[in-house]
Structure 1
Amino acid sequence: MSRRRTLLAGWALALLAIALFAALGTWQLGRQGEKQRLLDDAGQALQQRDPLPLAAASDRDAGRVLDWAAGPGSYLDLPAVLLDNQQRGGRPGVRVYRAFAPQRDGLPLLVDLGWLPWSADRSLPPLAPPPADARVAGLLAPPPSAGLARAALQPQAEGALLATALEPEALAPALGLPALAPRVLRLDPELPGGYARDLEMLPNTLPPERHLGYAVQWYGLALAVLVTALVLTIRRGAPRLQRNQRTGP
């Protein structure tokens, strides 16, 4: 009886591990699909460059996640938002965002002006004031993924807000605005002004193929546990089978 209980307990642990590894593999496959769709949408938007009005940034029910948009408006006289933990060329830095009010309909939206590096003492160079009136164009996209980071805002001596995550709903009251558009505008690198920037969609995260590789690893671990449990079960049953054969008729 004790041997049977040990066998059942071993199988319970094995099945639990298999379920966990399979769930992790499925999650990685889901992330791979999400990021591949993001890259596909970005490629289509960048290829067509058929601009929508900036009011499209305010549409929470937009069918596509990414769109090319353009229009006139003005940067608001508000603090810049600096998104921390952003790398470029292996160097740590921040992405600089400013609130922009479209000339026509639509909520104010955050415009990604580009990347600036941290210095050795974690100080930033002076931020250039944006022009009062401007015509912007670029890629409407969801805010960068925060991952496991919790949203936090830290006012800086220069007046900017240092953010660990970009959440328009949380940033709007900090900027004194009733609301911000749920999507941000990644400014066209060909336009003048701003800082070092591009339209790379996954600059600080894993590409789809890495998620696929991790999924294969997790599924492989699940299979390895299953095979190990089967082999151990067969080995435990082999002596009993041999004894039954000796005592048989």
Structure 2
Amino acid sequence: MRFNPGWPMSLFVALFLPLTLGLGSWQLNRAAEKNQILADYVQDQEGAVRPWQGFDRHAPGTKLGFCVDVGGEHWFLDNRTHDGQVGYEVFLPAQHCDSAAPVLLKLGFIAASGPRTQLPLLQPERWLGQQQIEGEVRPRPPEPMLTGPAEDMGLQRWRVQSLERTPEGSFIEPATLLVQVKTPQDWQLVDAWQPVNMAPERHLGYAIQWFGLAVVLVIGFLIWGVHRAADLQRGKHE
């Protein structure tokens, strides 16, 4: 059986076969990374509540318990979505009761209740003063491409576009620990955070697609080479 695919087809396969195999392998690696992240998160979830440890780094999902001193100010992080609803994530700037170290408390997601000029009304008096809380460490949300300054909406409410551009005079820094409040329960809104933004199964599905495309490419290359060689052979005898 003769085989002559020609140099254009050979060059095409030489370029795209490594690409499809590389993308498939990358998706497999991403699936493994996401599985490890989920396993670490589950392990942290099963652990006991830890006491405050200052500015020490904690993995997302780590449970912490400590006393905070909270004012009435609360921030609405704009342009957030959950289950198809547009709204905000609500944050409270606070300080540790003993060390006065800053900590940013996250209450969760709340749907928008009107135009952007009218923020939802909460009851800030429930979190005023010193409070004992328990919560889970969270990563900071990704930064949007376009941001604007924080806007004072009255009643100690601020609308912010980014946690990097906080209200003027804020003591919250980019390295400040961010904690999703779990206790007291009446502080909680909707905890819409997920440890991974794409499930490992999705990455496996994409990997199968890329490897499948590589198989189709190889089979097509072999069929093309055999048929082309046969056509060239027939042309010589005519």
Pairwise TM-score range, normalised by the shorter structure: 0.7 to 0.9
Cα shift readout 1:95-133 (whole Å, capped 9, x = no counterpart): 112222223458523221011002353443124324232
Distance (Å, rounded) in 1 between the aligned partners of 2:27 and 2:168? 35
Q: Which runs of 5+ in 1 are unaligned?
A: none
Cα shift readout 1:113-171 (whole Å, capped 9, x = no counterpart): 0110023534431243242322221111322355xx426245345141332x55xxx34
Q: Which residue of 2 aligns with 1:27?
A: 26
Q: Which residue of 2 aligns with 1:18?
A: 17
Distance 1:8 1:21, change over 3 A: same
Q: Which residue of 2 aligns with 1:140?
A: 137
Once the two structures are superposed, the pairs formed by residues 1-249 of structure 1 within 5 Å of their partners are: 7-55=6-54, 58-60=55-57, 64-75=59-70, 78=73, 80-87=75-82, 89-105=83-99, 107-119=101-113, 121-122=115-116, 123-129=118-124, 130-145=127-142, 149-150=144-145, 152-158=147-153, 159-163=157-161, 166=163, 170-171=164-165, 176-177=170-171, 179-181=173-175, 183-188=177-182, 190-198=183-191, 201-202=194-195, 205-241=197-233
RMSD over aligned Cα, in angstroms? 3.4
Higher relative contact order (CA 8 A, sep 6+): 2
Q: Which runs of 5+ in 2 are unaligned?
A: none
Look up the SS of the partner of 1:80 in the other structure: strand
Distance 1:113 1:175, change over 3 A: farther
Distance (Å, rounded) in 2 between the aligned partners of 1:222 and 1:153? 45
Distance 1:70 1:21, change over 3 A: same
User: Would you say the 8 A contact 2:102–2:172 is kept in 1?
Assistant: no
Give TM-score, length-normalised by structure 1.
0.73
Look up the SS of the partner of 2:189 in the other structure: coil
User: Would you say the 8 A contact 1:83–1:96 is kept in 2?
Assistant: no
Look up the SS of the partner of 1:111 in the other structure: strand
Distance (Å, rounded) in 2 between the aligned partners of 1:182 and 1:223? 49
Q: Which letter does structure 1 place at the counterpart of 2:34?
A: K
Distance (Å, rounded) in 2 between the aligned partners of 1:24 and 1:211? 11
Give TM-score, length-normalised by structure 2.
0.76
Distance (Å, rounded) in 1 between the aligned partners of 2:234 and 2:192? 68
Cα shift readout 1:51-98 (whole Å, capped 9, x = no counterpart): 14252xx334x5x454211111223565514153231x4322221122
User: Would you say the 8 A contact 2:51–2:64 is kept in 1?
Assistant: yes
TM-fit CA distance, 1:228: 1.7
Q: Which letter does structure 2 place at the counterpart of 1:32?
A: A
Distance (Å, rounded) in 2 between the aligned partners of 1:11 and 1:78? 65
Distance (Å, rounded) in 2 between the aligned partners of 1:78 and 1:175? 12
Distance (Å, rounded) in 1 between the aligned partners of 2:16 and 2:101? 48
Q: Count the aligned residue pairs.
A: 229
Distance 1:183 1:14, change over 3 A: farther
Look up the SS of the partner of 1:41 in the other structure: helix
User: Would you say the 8 A contact 1:110–1:180 is kept in 2?
Assistant: no
User: Would you say the 8 A contact 1:66–1:139 is kept in 2?
Assistant: yes
